[in-house]
Amino acid sequence: MISVSCISKSKNTVFMVFLIPAFILYTVFFIYPSVSSIYYGFTDWAGFEKNIKFIGIENYIKLLYDERFLAALKNTFLVCVILTVIQNALALVLAVGLDIKIKTRNILRTIFFMPSVLSALVIGFVWSYIYSPFDGLLNAILDNIGLTPLERDWLGDPKIALYSIMFIVLWQSTGYAMVIYLAGLQSIPKDYYEASAIDGANAWHKFTTVTFPLIAPSFTVNILLSVIGSLKIFDIIYATTMGGPGYATETITTIIFLKAFGSENEFGYATAIATVLFIIILMISSVLVKFLRAREIEI
Amino acid sequence: MKKILCFLLIVVMVMGLFVGCDKAAQDEKKSAATQGQTTQEAAKSDAQKSDPITLRHLTWSVPDVADAFDVIKKKYEEENKNVTIEIENVPTDQYANALKTKLFAGDAPDIIQLHPVQAEYIDTAKNGYIEDITSDPMMQNVLPGTLNNIKIDGKIYGVPYDQVSLVVLYNRKIFADNGLKIPANYQEMLTLCETLKSKGITPVAHGIKDWYVVQFLPYQIAPTLVYAKNTAWDKDLAAGKAKFNSPEWEKVFEMYLEFEKKGYFTKNALGVGDQQSVQMFATGKAAMTFQGMWSTTTAKQANPELDIGAFPFPANQPGEELWMSASLGHLQSLSKSSKNLAEAKKYLSVWTRTDVAQLWADRRPSVVSTIKGVKSNDKVMAELEPYLQKLNSWQFCNNGWPAGVEEVMSKKFQELYAAPDKVTVNDLLNEMDKKVQEKTKK
């Protein structure tokens, strides 16, 4: 406490000076490229063309009629809703389960958390092999336990490919959300449970009246992380299907990548899409934060 | 205050979207920088009299190139003690990105390897990134026939290297065991497949999870059905006089789909990747596969016992002339902005020397050299060579199309393959025409 009260204005300036290098790096490598990206969204920059022209909102008008973009938008929202709901429900169940004192608690926590330590590319390639219809593990297992009719071409069938990918993401990220919930659970004082027990509450009542309201901060963080994360979903798709078969698993981010770095090199158009995604995420998360924070304050 | 903080936090998180793409480029620079350090140190240790020069050669690696680049690099460095060649090898699927990043950043390599397609060779030439070498003496060493397809308004901007073919690879043992002959026309091809099928052998290993593989069969059929009838078809397309939605292109894709309808392909093609389909062929799960000659190397790696043969896909009716697929593998071009242009030119001309090109060819048995006097020592190639000498050939069709058409073709074909009741060949061809219109309008 002493040190804090001692900080004078001059010392503050000294601290500020120490921040300058980091600030410059951040500006040059992050703020500047981001802002100039927004500018390039208004140009016709494509391929190896040296003369980049400003074309106003032409890219944005084109977006409205681009069936491929609209399909990707639909896929992205589908992924976002399904992943956010299932991931948080699963993570919460796991967290509550692993908060109970059982012998294998720590091992189980580690096991569930493990996938989120791995690189998304590694996970993508491993799951590509698991899902492979030619010599894949999943179909082999189904075959061996007598469920041959359930065998599918998991990533090759356009009807189910997106769901197969969502399963991989769930497998990967639920453990991470679980840890955040666990941290939230541990911050709830034991007295509340004792008090509610005296009032005659059963396990379900305890969960709905004590646990659930009091982990609201973890809830906010987790919902936000999974909404933003799934709107930006890219790496797993890149490593498994690259948006295929056809256009079946394309999301906004894969379109940005394929438009910019595919055979057409429409950089201007791709950055316009990126700007749209930026705005979408900004709006959704602001609304969510407002809503979720309000819930926290009520308690 | 809390609200503002929250808002800022979101902005920062969302901003992450925009910088993601830069990371690959940064990593690349890092690795290039470390590479540069080690080669520079090596150069220092050499006792040199003339000024040391470092040439950067940007290339991509395909599985069958092996150490060919290093062999030529070492040979040149031995002959020219003051020069260090830095080979910057980028994975194939990242090559176009790496090249663009470098060119836009003003960090152009001295020697650039290019695909002979619109989006790479033609666009870099038209935008003045690469040097015109039409009248350079080194072009005398190149087989003149290989130069026709790479002239842009009569000028040449790179040394064509390697001719590659799309073919039918077949398992010679399966063919011999069943007394099968190489088919001479389309009818015989169907009969051959029917025979194999009736004996319980899957005729063709097929995997089109990677969209680019879709191109392998149509580019073998179209030379006979489209380009043999009209060699100016691509020009007509650009001029709006020809359309993909036409009976001849319809036939191209119907021929492709006939294999699926008759059950000649391995199952679940949309879930099987390029390499996996080669493995299926190599391990004898199917008698043939439609592939590039470059895949013979991967097939042999998967199964060293495998006895591979190759023949051009017989898209011809009896009595009709067969045209096969043969295209340039790549071009080696010189960067216009190179600080050591003279030295880079000297280095590139060494690539056109017969002895050096022979070194390359020995390490890449699956391609035909474009340099005069180079001989192939490969058994599979030896089987294909008579066809290459006897038959007319056509480049990979997309080399003559506007950029992006092949991608639309492949992805729409994947959709068609998954749901033939919903997507028709005409839908596919219409989509291709739409893309052509979009690109030629500009």
Do B440 and A296 contact (CB within 8 A), yes or no? Answer: no
Do B299 and B308 contact (CB within 8 A), yes or no? Answer: yes
Do B249 and B429 contact (CB within 8 A), yes or no? Answer: yes
Closest listed residue to residue A227, CA positions, set A85, A72, A71, A69: A85
Q: Provide the percentage of residues in chain A whose pLDDT is more than 70.
A: 96
Contacts of residue B409 in chain A, CB cutoff 8 Å?
none
Show Cβ contacts of residue B131 under 8 Å, excluding neighbours closer than 6 positions. B157, B333, B334, B335, B336, B338, B341, B345
Residues B171-184, mean pLDDT to the nearest whole number: 94
A156 touching chain B per CB within 8 A: yes
SS (H, E, C) B312-352: CCCCCCCCCCCEEECEEEEEEEEECCCCCHHHHHHHHHHHC
Do A273 and A259 contact (CB within 8 A), yes or no? Answer: yes
Pairwise CA distance, residues A285 & B238, whole Å? 47
Token duo for residue A65: 């009629």
Beta strands in B39-173 (DSSP E): 53-61, 83-91, 111-114, 159-164, 166-171
Name the residue with higher pLDDT: B64 or B36. B64
Residues B207-233, mean pLDDT to the nearest whole number: 93
Q: Provide the percentage of residues in chain A whose pLDDT is more than 90.
A: 50
- What's the mean per-residue pLDDT of chain A? 88
Token duo for residue B252: 């191209």
Amino acid at B57: H
Dump pLDDT digits (tens) for B380-423.
Answer: 888 888 888 888 889 899 888 988 899 999 999 999 999 989 99
Inter-chain contact B276–A134, Cβ cutoff 8 Å? yes
pLDDT at A230 over 90: yes
**10 Å Cβ neighbour count for A85?**
12
Chain centroid to CA A155: how far? Answer: 21
Do A235 and A124 contact (CB within 8 A), yes or no? Answer: yes
Cβ-based contacts under 8 A for chains A and B: 139
Do B124 and B103 contact (CB within 8 A), yes or no? Answer: yes
How high is the pLDDT of residue B10?
Answer: 59
How high is the pLDDT of residue B297?
Answer: 84
Beta bridge partners, B170, equal B288, B309
Amino acid at B305: E
Q: Determine which of A6-20, B95-109, B320-334, B381-395 has the lowest per-residue pLDDT on average.
A: A6-20
Dump pLDDT digits (tens) for A160-184.
Answer: 999 999 999 999 999 999 999 999 9
How high is the pLDDT of residue B22?
Answer: 43
φ, ψ of residue A54 to 5 degrees: the values are -80, 125
CA–CA distance from B115 to each of A261, B105, B121, B139, B162 (Å)? Answer: 15, 21, 6, 18, 11
Closest listed residue to residue B18, CA positions, set A289, A53, A282: A282
**10 Å Cβ neighbour count for A146?**
8
Pairwise CA distance, residues B140 & B349, whole Å? 10
Pairwise CA distance, residues A221 & B406, whole Å? 44
- Selecting from A134, A156, A274 the residue whose C-beta is nearest the C-beta of B18 gives A274
Dump pLDDT digits (tens) for A31-53.
Answer: 999 999 899 899 888 877 777 88
Q: Residue B309 is inside which H or E element, if any?
A: strand B308-311
Match 């032409």 to its residue by tokens: A58
Residue from B11, B411, B416 to probe the interface with A (highest A Cβ count within 10 Å): B411
Looking at this predicted complex, what is its ipTM? 0.81
Write down the pTM of the prediction.
Answer: 0.81
- Count Cβ neighbours within 10 Å for each residue of A168-178 and write b for 16 or more, e otherwise: bbbebbbbbbb
Amino acid at B380: V
Contacts of residue B103 in chain A, CB cutoff 8 Å?
48
How high is the pLDDT of residue B38?
Answer: 45
Q: Residue B275 is inside which H or E element, if any?
A: helix B274-282
pLDDT at B154 over 60: yes
pLDDT at B434 over 90: yes
A261 touching chain B per CB within 8 A: yes
Instruction: Pinpoint the alpha helices (H) of B228-273.
Output: 233-238, 247-261
Dump pLDDT digits (tens) for A240-295.
Answer: 998 889 899 999 999 999 888 877 788 899 999 999 999 999 999 999 999 888 87
Token duo for residue B343: 């030295």
Residues B176-205, mean pLDDT to the nearest whole number: 94
Contacts of residue B427 in chain A, CB cutoff 8 Å?
none
- Selecting from B7, B21, B415 the residue whose C-beta is nearest the C-beta of A286 gives B7
Contacts of residue A224 in chain B, CB cutoff 8 Å?
10
Q: Provide the percentage of residues in chain B whose pLDDT is more than 90.
A: 45
Pairwise CA distance, residues B26 & B389, whole Å? 47
Residues A105-128, mean pLDDT to the nearest whole number: 91
Amino acid at B226: V
φ, ψ of residue B57 to 5 degrees: the values are -115, 110
Contacts of residue A228 in chain B, CB cutoff 8 Å?
13-14
* Confidence category of residue B9, pLDDT binned at 50, 70, 90: low
Dump pLDDT digits (tens) for B346-367.
Answer: 999 999 999 988 988 888 877 8
Pairwise CA distance, residues A2 & A177, whole Å? 38
Pairwise CA distance, residues B259 & B193, whole Å? 9
Do B4 and A286 contact (CB within 8 A), yes or no? Answer: no
Inter-chain contact B403–A29, Cβ cutoff 8 Å? no
Residue B52 is classified by DSSP as P
How high is the pLDDT of residue B281?
Answer: 95
* Confidence category of residue A136, pLDDT binned at 50, 70, 90: confident
How high is the pLDDT of residue B187?
Answer: 94
Q: How far is B326 from chain A (nearest CA, A)?
A: 21
Inter-chain contact A241–B210, Cβ cutoff 8 Å? no
- Selecting from A156, A232, A265 the residue whose C-beta is nearest the C-beta of B119 gives A265
Beta strands in B13-102 (DSSP E): 53-61, 83-91
Q: How far is A288 from chain B (nearest CA, A)?
A: 11
How high is the pLDDT of residue A148?
Answer: 82
Q: Residue B327 is inside which H or E element, if any?
A: strand B327-334
Q: Count of residues for chain B?
A: 442
CA–CA distance from B86 to each of A65, B26, B48, B55 (Å)? Answer: 46, 18, 18, 6
Burial of residue A216 (CB within 10 Å: 0-12, 13-18, 19+) is: middle
Q: Residue A270 is inside which H or E element, if any?
A: helix A267-298
Pairwise CA distance, residues B290 & B284, whole Å? 15
Do B87 and B54 contact (CB within 8 A), yes or no? Answer: no
- Selecting from A33, A224, A293 the residue whose C-beta is nearest the C-beta of B19 gives A33
- Selecting from B6, B407, B412 the residue whose C-beta is nearest the C-beta of A289 gives B6
**10 Å Cβ neighbour count for A241?**
28
* Confidence category of residue B64, pLDDT binned at 50, 70, 90: low
Residues 16-45 on A with a CB inside 8 Å of B are 29-30, 33-34, 37
Q: Residue B392 is inside which H or E element, if any?
A: strand B392-394
Beta bridge partners, B309, equal B170
- What's the mean per-residue pLDDT of chain B? 85
Burial of residue A41 (CB within 10 Å: 0-12, 13-18, 19+) is: buried
φ, ψ of residue A268 to 5 degrees: the values are -60, -50
How high is the pLDDT of residue B105?
Answer: 84
CA–CA distance from A84 to each of A71, A87, A166, B219 (Å)? Answer: 20, 5, 11, 44
Beta bridge partners, B394, equal B325
Instruction: Pinpoint the alpha helices (H) of A132-202.
Output: 137-144, 161-186, 190-198
Token duo for residue A294: 């309000």
Q: Determine which of A108-112, A239-243, B33-37, B259-263 has the lowest per-residue pLDDT on average.
A: B33-37
How high is the pLDDT of residue A123?
Answer: 94
